[in-house]
Structure 1
Amino acid sequence: MMNKIKTLVVAFLLISFASFAQSNDQPLKIGYTNVEYILLQLPESKQIESQLKDHSTQLENQLKNKYSEYETKLQAYERGAPTMDKTIREDKEKELMSLNTSIQEFQRNAQQSLQQKEKSLVDPVIAKIDKAIKDVAKENGYTYIISNQALLAGPEDGDISPLVLKKLGVDPSKAQTTAEPAAKPATPATPAKTPAKTPAKSNTKKKN
C-alpha cells in the first residue's frame, strides 16, 4: 500500500498546497509539512491497510478458485487427449482456452478493483489532512505551506506537522519518528498456461 499511497500523496501535493493571502504589511511566513507522514500517523491508515488486505484476499481467493478449476480440467484433458475423439478434444481445448482468457481478464479487473478501492479509502483522508493544513496555516499566519520533501533547509519551528496532527486529534508526542510502511497487497498469480490447440495423440505430454 505504501507505494500507491505515495502516488496519491504526490498528486495531492501538486494540486492542493495553497497560498494564503496576506496584507502587504505582514511578513512572509513559510511553513512545511509531510502529508505522507501525517497520513501514516492517523488511525485511518491502519483501517485502510486492513480493508485493502481483506479486499485483496477476496480477489485472490476467487482467482485461486478459477485457477484450480483450470488445472483440474487441464489435467483431465492431458490424461484423456490421446484417446479422445477429435470433436471432443477440440471442444475441451476451446473450454480450456476460454477459462485461461477468463483468468487473465479477472487478473486485470482485480488490479483495477484494488486500485479503485484504495483511492476511495485514501481520498477522503487526504481531503481531511488538506483541510487541517489550511486551517493551521490560517490560524498561525503562514503565507505558504510547502512539502518538506522539496525543502533543502529550514528552521525547525517551520514544521507545522505537530500542529496538523493536533488539529486531527493525534497527540504529536506519540507520533512515530519513522512511519512503518503498510503491507502491500499481493499481486494476483500469473496467467494459466494454455494447451496446444491441436495436440497430436502420440505426442501429448503428461503434466509434471
Structure 2
Amino acid sequence: MKLKTTFIIALFFVGFANAQTKVGTVNSDLIIGKMPQMKGVLQRVENYGKTLDSTFQIKATEYKAKVDSFKAEDKIMTEDDRKNRIIELQKMEQEMAKFRQNGSAMIQLQREQSLRPLYKKMSEVIAEVAKENGYTQILTTNTNQFEYIDERFDITQLVLDKLGIKE
C-alpha cells in the first residue's frame, strides 16, 4: 500500500514538473524594422501615397479653377446660376474632404497588406525558435507594459539570427 501511495505521489510530482512553463519575450517591432524586406514595404507605401497625392492635386486644381471661374463670373450670373455653382463647389469640397479621409485609411490598409507577409515569416521563425529552446509561451515586449523582464528569456536576438539579420 505504501508503495502504491509513493508511486502515485511520484507520478503527481513528475506530471507537475513536466507541466512547468517557460515564458520568453520578443520585440517584434525591432525584428520587423530590421528585416531587409521592410525597405520595399516602405517604398511601396510611399509610392502609393504619392499616387493618392497626385490624384488629390488634380482634384484641388479643378476645384481652384472652378472657384476662380465663379469669382470672375459672379457679377454676370443669375441668382439660379450662382446657387447651382455654389452647390457644385460645396459638393467638390465634400468630395475632396472624403478623398483625404479615405486616402489615410487606404494608405494604412496598403501598409498592413504589405507587412502581412513579414509578420507571417517572423511568427513562423518565432515559433521555431520557441520550440527549439523549449518555450511554451512568447510574449511581445512592444507595448512596454512589463515591469520586469529577465534578459535571459528574450529571444529577439535568436529570431534575428535565424532570419540572418545582423545588428
TM-score (ref. length: structure 2): 0.80
**Higher share of residues assigned helix:** 2
Q: Which amino acid aligns with 1:159?
A: D
Provide the residue aligned with 2:37 in structure 1.
44
Structure 2 partner of 1:56: 49
**Alignment-derived partner of residue 160 in structure 1:** 155
Identity of aligned residues (%): 26
Q: Give the counterpart letter for 1:108 in structure 2.
A: Q
State the Cα distance separating 1:60 from its structure 2 match: 1.0
One-letter amino acid of the counterpart of residue 153, structure 1: Y
Matches within 5 A, 1:1-208: 24-26=16-18, 28-148=21-141, 149-171=144-166, 175=167
Tell me: CA distance 1:35–1:77, structure 2 relative to 1, closer, same or farther (3 Å).
same
Following superposition, the deviation at residue 24 of structure 1 comes to: 4.5
Shift of residue 132, structure 1, vs aligned partner = 1.0
Distance 1:165 1:113 in 2: 31
Rounded to whole Å, the distance in 1 between the matches of 2:86 and 2:134 is: 71
Structure 1 SS opposite 2:108:
helix
How many residues matched?
A: 150
Q: State the Cα deviation string for residues 132-187 of structure 1 (Å, max 9, x = none).
A: 1111000111122122334333333222111101222212xxx2xxxxxxxxxxxx
Aligned-partner Cα distance in 1 for 2:103–2:73: 33
Secondary structure of 2:99's match? helix
Q: Extract unaligned runs of 5+ from structure 2.
A: 1-14
Code of the aligned partner of 2:105: Q
Q: Larger C-alpha radius of gyration, 1 or 2? A: 2
Q: Distance in 1 between matches of 2:50 and 2:162?
A: 35
